[in-house]
């Protein structure tokens, strides 16, 4: 009988933790920017700001659809 050794996944685990930490940092920065209304004052908002935020929302939706298996990624 052959005994199969468990694969050493420590490098993959380290890379996973590094990528997760990067995502957490990005999310924290985006949350802070959102809390600051994307550095805009209500009296200065124009349609360009709306378009920019809609663009950001679309990009984030692509990520969440993929990660959560929703939208075009739904099973």
Query: pTM here?
Result: 0.80
52-70 residue pLDDT tens: 999 999 999 999 999 999 9
The residue ranking higher by pLDDT, 36 or 75, is 36
Contact yes or no for 69/75 (Cβ under 8 A): yes
**pLDDT > 70: what percent of the chain?**
92
What is the structure's pLDDT at 7? Answer: 78
pLDDT in tens, 18-57: 999 999 999 999 999 999 999 999 999 999 999 999 999 9
CA 15 from centre of chain? 17
């Amino acid at each position: 009988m052959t005994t199969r050794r468990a694969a050493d996944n420590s490098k993959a685990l380290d890379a996973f933790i590094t990528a997760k930490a990067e995502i957490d940092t990005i999310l924290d920065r985006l949350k802070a920017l959102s809390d600051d209304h994307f550095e805009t004052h209500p009296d200065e908002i124009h349609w360009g700001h709306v378009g920019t935020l809609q663009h950001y929302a679309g990009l984030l939706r692509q990520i969440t659809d993929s990660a959560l298996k929703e939208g075009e990624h739904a099973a």
